[in-house]
Chains A and B, each alone.
Chain A
Amino acid sequence: MKKLLELQNVNFISQKKNILSNISFTLYEGMNTFICGNAASGKTTLLKAIAGQIKYKGHIEKKNVFVLLDENNFAKDTVEEEINYKELKEEKQKVVNRFITKTVLKKRIEDLTKEESILVKFVLAFLKQPTLLCIDNLFRFLSLKNIQKIKMYLKKKKITYVVVSTDIEDAISYPYLIVLNDGEIAMEGKTMQVLEQEKILKRLGIGLPFYIDLSIQLRLYGILDKICIEKEELEGALWK
Chain B
Amino acid sequence: MEIINHLLIGKINAIQNIEISKIQYTPFEYVVEIKKTYPTSTVQNYILKETSCFNKRLLDSLKLVSLKENCLEKKMNQLSTTEKIKVELAIALILNKECIVFPYFSQYFMEKDKLFFKKIFKKLATKYKKTICFLNSDLSFLMDFVDRIVLIKKKETLFLDSPTFYEKELLNEYSPKIVEFIDYLNHCGHKFLNYTDSKELLKAIFREV
Q: When the two chains form their complex, are residues A40 and B110 in contact, meaning their CB atoms are under 8 A apart?
A: no
Q: What's the minimum C-beta distance from B200 to chain A, rounded to whole angstroms?
A: 12
Query: Which residue of the partner chain, among A39, A140, A221, A231, contacts B104 with CB atoms under 8 Å?
Result: A140
Q: Once the chains bind, are B198 and A213 in contact (CB under 8 Å)?
A: yes
| Distance in angstroms between the alpha carbons of A211 and B201 in the assembled complex | 12
A114 touches B181 (CB 8 A): no
Chain A residues 2-58 with CB under 8 Å of chain B are: 14-15, 36-40, 44
Task: Of the listed stretches B47-55, B156-164, B182-190, name the one at the interface; the rest are far from the partner chain.
Answer: B182-190
Q: State the CA gap A167–B109 with chains docked (Å).
A: 8
Docked Cα-Cα span, A39 to B107, in Å, equals 11
Complex interface: stretch among A76-84, A93-101, A141-149: A141-149
What is the number of contacts between chain A and chain B, taking CB atoms within 8 Å? 101
| Residues of chain A lying within 8 A (CB to CB) of residue B122 | none
Is B173 an interface residue when CB atoms closer than 8 A count as contact? yes
CB of A169 closer than 8 Å to a CB of B? yes
Contacts of A90 in B (CB 8 A): none
Q: A39-B82, A234-B181 are in contact. Are A239 and B16 (CB under 8 A)?
A: no
Please tell me if B119 contacts chain A, counting CB pairs below 8 Å: no
- Chain A residues 92 to 126 lying within 8 A of chain B, measured CB to CB, are 113-115
What residues of B have a CB within 8 angstroms of the CB of A167 in the complex? 107, 138
Interface residues of B (CB under 8 A from A): 14, 16-17, 19-20, 36-37, 74-75, 78, 80-83, 85, 104, 106-113, 138, 140, 173, 177-178, 180-181, 184-185, 188, 190, 198, 201-202, 205-206, 209
13 new A-B contacts, CB < 8 A, other than A39-B80, A210-B198, A231-B181, are A114-B16, A114-B19, A166-B110, A167-B138, A169-B177, A206-B111, A210-B178, A213-B198, A214-B202, A221-B202, A221-B206, A235-B188, A239-B209
